[in-house]
Every structure is written in C-alpha cells, then in structure tokens.
Structure 1
Amino acid sequence: MTGQSDAARPHAPQPDPRTGPASVIANAFALLRVLSEAQCPLGVTSLASAVGLPKTTAHRLLEQMAAEGVVERRERKWRLGNGIYDLARLGHPSALPAAAHRRLEVMSKATGAALFLHHYADHTLQTVFHAYGAHVKALVPATEQTIAARHPASAIWQALKTGQLAAEYRQVRPECDCISVPFSVPGGDIAVLSLARPAGSDMESLKRPLERVAALIRSDLRQAAM
C-alpha cells in the first residue's frame, strides 16, 4: 500500500491561538481593561483595534460578557455593565484599607495628623482605616477622634455632599481642624480620606498632598483589580 507523502496528507485543523480557553479569558480581560480606562463608551472597531483582535472575535466576546451583565451596549457602543461593579464591590471593603495602609501610615508620621479612611455605600459610612497622629492624639483621645470624624458637621459629610475637597475648622472639635477629599473606587462606591490636625495648623499646605494620596490609593485599587 502506497503511503501518502507528508505534503499530500491532509492536516488536522490547527486551533486558533486567539480562541483557546486561556486566550479567550485573556482577551476578555483585555477588553475589560480598555473599557475601564475609557472616558466614554467605545465601538467594537475601536475595542478590537485596541487589543489587537479581529472585529468578529471582539464582538463575540462582548456579546458573551453582555449575557452575564459584565458589559452592556448602548447605541452601538460598549461600556462596563453593572455586573462588573457587583463583582468588584464584593472584595472592596477589605481591598481599600489594604491598599491605603502604608501610604496613610507614612503621611500620619510625617505630619503628626490623624488620618481616617471611610467607605461610603448604600447610605452607610464605614471606617476602614485610621492612623492616630501624634499631634492630635495629645489633644483628643482616640475614641473621641473616631466619633468626631463621623459627626454630621464633619468635613467628611461635606465632601460627600459636594463631591470635592471640604474643610471644617473647629466646628466639630474646638481643638482640631479637618480636611476631607472624596474619590471613586472600583465598584462605583465612594471613599473619603480625611486629615485632622490641631486648630490653627497650616491646613492649606496639606490639601494638595491629601488629594495626591487619595489619587494614589485609587490608582493602587484599580491596578489590583486588573
């Protein structure tokens, strides 16, 4: 029996490297990363180009993720869906203090200020991290600092109401001034970072550094979620 040469034998179809199980997951996450960083919804052509996929492959992945609520299509363009936020929210309360711990400890030691980090969701304010600075600890006991930070007149609630940095001077505690900055976190919730120092301190010079630290924490959280 005459055997066929290698050139003449039919070859089994080779799997597309873009559609294997591992690659499908990698490509799906690549699309999600692009959508998470986009400032507006994107069309499938832009998304496919951004991750280096054929348009048909990108469209198929998007449709599959849409069925799970992870992405959604509006007017022929795609954006993250509520499903992805629900997943992020599950791990959020523990992820936030973990991401912030080192940065806030360093800032507290450098300034002597008390720092509080709160997570706000479902109309509930939860303290997730605190650093009782040396300067404030000498004036206000730790337990009273915690109560003051959550006071209705505190800078925290002003920041949540206005969506921007807020300050209060001696309104909650006559011994202290406080500034707070809100920032968004993965999952669509809000965190608020607050700093308190003895009354009469130079708070103006600390506003920009506090905003910078909040931005770094937000960036750390986004990186951890990818």
Structure 2
Amino acid sequence: MDAAVHVRAKDRGRGVLEGAFALLEALRQHGDEAGVTELAVACGVPKSTAHRLLEQLVAMEAVERRGLRYRLGAQLYRLGQAWQPHPGLRAAGRLPLHRLRAATGGSVVLAVLRDERPLTVCSVPGRVEPLVPVRDGDTFALDTALGRALRGPVRGGAVLDREEVVAGVCCAALPVRSPAGAVVGAVAAMVEAGQRLDVVAGRVAEAAAGITRALSGTGTGIGSGGGNGARAVR
C-alpha cells in the first residue's frame, strides 16, 4: 500500500463509519485483494474490529470476500458511477478522449481538482501505460502538467512536461471549460519521449474543445480546437 490509512481517534473509540471508510480506502490503495490482517494494520484498528466491519461491508455488497481475502465490491462501483464532478462531464469526455488516444497513441486522462490534487474521472490507457498507469479515481501531483493546467492560470496554450516527472514520458495538458467559460477540468495526453509535443498539444486542444462542445450539446467530437490554443506553455 502507498501509506497506512489512519482513522481519527475519538474520545470513546472509533466510529463505525470512520472505520468502514478507512477499510474501503485501504482496499482502494491496495488495488487488489487483501487479507484482514494487512487491512487492520493499514487502518490501525484491531483485527477483530476490521473483520467485523469487513463482514458488514460484505453484507452491503460494498466489499466482496474470496476465501480469506477481500476486495472492493460491485455496489461501490455502482455508487461511484453516479458521481458527477460537473454535470455531464464524464460522458462528454469519453469520445474526445478515445479520439485523442487514437491520434497520439498516448495515455489520456480527464481530471478535476479535488482536495488540491487532480482526480482522474475518465481515462484511456496508451503506450506509456507500463510507465504511467492511468485509472479512473487515480490522483496526480499538482506540479505535473495536468496539475498546473487545473490550478491555472494557463495563458498562451498547453502546459508541457518534457520528462520532468517520469523519464521517457512527456505530457501536454489544457484546461477544459464549461460553455460559460469556467474551468471544470483538464485533459492531458502522456506520450513517449521523442514525439512532437507541439502536435500532441494541438490534439489535446481539440479534445478540450470537443468536451466543451459536448457539454453545450452542440457536438461530441474533436474539432478545430475552439477557444483552447495549442501554443505551448513550458
């Protein structure tokens, strides 16, 4: 796991909801099945408490048990699919992201800013997947191109990363705006070093404009780029 997940202590012990959500977060960080002992250690709760809460979560279909190991359940997936960071944003991003992936070969993401970190809400893996895996729900640091595009202000075109974060991987990112002009997210393409980033930036600008058009109901594809310029910001 990335780090131990701690439940805030209270005067009279740990709340049931706190403990349950800590276990869910520990399972998310683990990324696969985990045993009750490692989950209890990660959350800082007694093994008996972890087991009791996990079994309650199994009964609610929030967690699934396979033998002696646990993983996130289908009910959490269903609930997560209902969350919308901005009305219609995830649906608006699907086709432009797939076209961006096809045009660049890179791993592409649509993210929003949550808790001072870019949170991926839609993604399509590409050729750099072994170096930078992308999954819906993953977060990035603010000092990445994606983070800088979300944090803003972005003037003059795409924010570029030339192997500054991961060796062998470059990135171009741009904000995504609502039809009213507010920044509602950012789109990024992560590609292999050696690709022309100015060309990638142009494709990212087209994808961002396509998402804006889809939000307004006037189109869903990648077009001429709209109001998102492709000139690079380093």
Map of 1:18-37 to 2, 5 A cutoff? none
Partner of 1:163: 154
Residue ranges of structure 2 left out of the alignment (5+ in a row): 1-82, 219-234
SS of the equivalent of 1:102 reads: helix
Q: Tell me whether 1:100 sits opposite 2:93 in the alignment.
A: yes
Displacement of 1:129 in angstroms is 0.5
Map of 1:189-204 to 2, 5 A cutoff? 189-204=183-198
Partner of 1:140: 131
SS of the equivalent of 1:193 reads: strand
**Aligned equivalents of 1:123, 1:142: Cα separation in 2:** 21
**Aligned equivalents of 1:128, 1:143: Cα separation in 2:** 10
Displacement of 1:92 in angstroms is 4.7
Map of 1:13-162 to 2, 5 A cutoff? 92-93=85-86, 95-120=88-113, 123=116, 125-133=118-126, 135-137=127-129, 139-140=130-131, 142=133, 150-159=140-149, 160-162=151-153
The question of whether the paired residues in 2 share the 8 Å contact of 1:154 and 1:172 is answered with yes
Q: Deviations over 1:148-203 (max 9, x none)?
A: x7123210122232324201111110120001001222684421000110112211
Partner of 2:221: none
**Aligned equivalents of 2:191, 2:89: Cα separation in 1:** 23
* 2:215 alignment partner AA: L
Q: Deviations over 1:63-122 (max 9, x none)?
A: xxxxxxxxxxxxxxxxxxxxxxxxxxx955461111111221122133211101012367
The question of whether the paired residues in 1 share the 8 Å contact of 2:97 and 2:124 is answered with yes
Partner of 2:166: 173
* 1:142 alignment partner AA: P
The question of whether the paired residues in 2 share the 8 Å contact of 1:119 and 1:189 is answered with no
Partner of 1:205: 199
**Aligned equivalents of 1:186, 1:120: Cα separation in 2:** 18
Indicate the RMSD between aligned Cα atoms, in angstroms: 3.0
- Greater mean deviation of Cα atoms: 114-123 or 90-99: 90-99
SS of the equivalent of 1:136 reads: coil
* 2:122 alignment partner AA: F
**Aligned equivalents of 2:216, 2:102: Cα separation in 1:** 26
Partner of 1:55: none
The question of whether the paired residues in 1 share the 8 Å contact of 2:179 and 2:213 is answered with no
Q: 1:183 to 1:107 in 2, by over 3 A?
A: closer
The question of whether the paired residues in 2 share the 8 Å contact of 1:121 and 1:189 is answered with no
**Aligned equivalents of 2:114, 2:137: Cα separation in 1:** 19
**Aligned equivalents of 2:136, 2:184: Cα separation in 1:** 21
**Aligned equivalents of 1:212, 1:177: Cα separation in 2:** 18
**Aligned equivalents of 2:84, 2:141: Cα separation in 1:** 27
Q: 1:219 aligns with which of 196, 200, 213?
A: 213
The question of whether the paired residues in 2 share the 8 Å contact of 1:193 and 1:214 is answered with yes
Q: 1:146 to 1:126 in 2, by over 3 A?
A: closer
